[in-house]
Structure 1
Amino acid sequence: MPQLSLHSPIGPLTLTEEDGAIISLDWGWGRDQTETPLLCQARDWLDSWFDSPQKQFPLPLKPHGTAYQKKVWAVVSAIPPGETLTYKQISEKVGGSPRSVGQAMGANPIPILIPCHRVVGAGGNLGGYSGDGGLEDKIWLLELEGVVLPRK
């Protein structure tokens, strides 16, 4: 599978393509680097997004996951930049529980592009984040998008 890495403000990221769609975004620098048209477009979009994060990802995504995870990820993909939903709000849309939504978020193979950083807990609790920097990455991404977070 073709992969292409990029430098970002939250560290190196690697995009992976399969059958004409992005299937993963991982923290770290990939071993192999292949500049396909799709991967170059995705890299360029991410470079631009880190400068001005007010747009949705326009390229095809095809994450591997269960039917339930894909339902959750579809709802999360529709959250506009600068806005958040709670785990409970998403569970009310797709079924399951806030915990099952959290598990789907933890299994998200394409963070940032499927913006799981926009999913938060009730009452100002941020929940978790799978990025290399954990919650620090989530806070950074939310603040980049203009979300005002409660300070403790």
Structure 2
Amino acid sequence: MMNQNQIFLKTPLGTARISGDEEGIWAIQILDEQIPTSTEIPDFLQPAAQQLNDYFKGELQEFSLKLNPKGTNFQQKVWKALSEIPFGKTCSYLELSRKLGDEKAVRAVASANGKNPLWVVIPCHRVIGSDRSLTGYAGGLHRKQWLLNHENNTSQLSMF
């Protein structure tokens, strides 16, 4: 029997598990195992599935979903700040800490970033090291690089 609070969606980076209910989406995770795409999608999960598909097709730059992630007040504050990083842009953990008002909190900010339950929708992949290097990413650095490349689609640049 299917869990009515989650669906599976094929993406270019693997299978995404989307979990939520009428109150909002509480988790989107990328899985390493291949699970068939869900054929029955509850109404409250349809917008998330559609918007993720549109994002990966290059047709969506900003998600507009009802979100309900579970976390501490500090984590919620970090995740809100992450959501404000524009599509195609990056910032460092230090810059994010400064934005939140305490540059000494860089490790706590990095920890909250790593606990982001909403893969891609809350764009933790847009946070990089102060030296502009790719740093830890729960979904794997290859996925982080892919997402950053996707958002800075160089194939759209003119060759002339």
User: Secondary structure, in 3 states, of the residue corresponding to 1:124?
Assistant: coil
* 5+ residue gaps, structure 1: none
Task: Note the C-alpha offset of 1:33.
Answer: 7.3
What is residue 16 of structure 1 aligned with on the other side? 19
Give the count of matched residue pairs: 146
1:67-113 CA-to-partner distances (Å, cap 9, x unmatched) read 11110100100111100111011111223522111100111111101
Matched, 1:100 2:108: yes
Q: Distance in 2 between matches of 1:81 and 1:27?
A: 20
C-alpha distance 23-34 of structure 1, shift in aligned 2 (>3 A):
farther
The structure having more radius of gyration, on CA atoms, is: 2
Q: Which amino acid aligns with 2:145?
A: I
- 1:146 equivalent among 135, 138, 152: 152
Q: Which amino acid aligns with 1:2?
A: N
Q: Distance in 2 between matches of 1:117 and 1:128?
A: 9
**4+ residue segments displaced more than 4 Å:** none
What is residue 39 of structure 1 aligned with on the other side? 45
What is residue 126 of structure 1 aligned with on the other side? 134
How many percent identity over aligned positions? 35
C-alpha distance 81-35 of structure 1, shift in aligned 2 (>3 A):
same
Q: Which TM-score applies when normalising by structure 1?
A: 0.87
What is residue 73 of structure 2 aligned with on the other side? 67
